């Protein structure tokens, strides 16, 4: 029972790290001059700093269109219970920032 509690805590922590990395990557990707590659790089940097323990095999994918951007992080939570592999997924999606001129004030 104790190992199951520790395993859940590790999975929960890995999920929070993945979500933080996805959010960080989205902030970069959706900026006015951002790119999908910059979002991926930013998310990967955060994962390199935080996820060396609870999240194994993290993979980052990002996409940016004219209207929206998204960053997805997936991996596996570190296992303390033998033969148990818990997947971790996180996704952040948002509109792309863009300048819209005020045409009404002429």
Query: 1-95 architecture in CATH?
Result: 2-Layer Sandwich (3.30)
What the block records as the tokens of 22 is 């996805």
Q: What pLDDT, on the 0 to 100 scale, is given for residue 21?
A: 96
Q: What pLDDT, on the 0 to 100 scale, is given for residue 10?
A: 94
| Spans of the chain below 70 pLDDT | 51, 106
Q: What pLDDT, on the 0 to 100 scale, is given for residue 51?
A: 65
Query: Cα(41)–Cα(21) distance, rounded to whole angstroms?
Result: 10
Q: What pLDDT, on the 0 to 100 scale, is given for residue 106?
A: 58
Per residue in 57-83, pLDDT (tens digit) is: 999 999 999 999 999 999 999 999 888
C-alpha count within 13 angstroms, C-beta hemisphere, residue 97: 10
Q: Is 4 exposed, middle or buried (0-12, 13-18, 19+ CB in 10 A)?
A: exposed
Residue-range domain boundaries for the chain: 1-95
Q: Which residue has the tokens 């269109």?
A: 65
Query: Cα(51)–Cα(11) distance, rounded to whole angstroms?
Result: 12
Q: What pLDDT, on the 0 to 100 scale, is given for residue 16?
A: 95
25 close to 42: Cβ distance less than 8 angstroms = yes
Q: What pLDDT, on the 0 to 100 scale, is given for residue 36?
A: 96
Query: Cα(63)–Cα(69) distance, rounded to whole angstroms?
Result: 6
């Amino acid at each position: 029972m104790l190992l199951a509690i520790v395993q859940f805590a590790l999975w929960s922590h890995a999920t929070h790290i993945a979500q933080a990395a996805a959010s960080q990557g989205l902030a970069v990707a959706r900026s006015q001059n951002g790119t999908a590659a910059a979002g991926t790089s930013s998310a990967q940097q955060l994962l390199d700093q935080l996820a060396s323990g609870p999240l194994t095999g993290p993979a980052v994918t990002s996409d940016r269109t004219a209207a929206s951007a998204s960053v997805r992080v997936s991996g596996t939570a570190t296992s303390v219970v033998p033969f148990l592999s818990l997947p971790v997924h996180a996704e952040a999606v948002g509109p792309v920032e863009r300048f819209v001129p005020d045409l009404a004030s002429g």
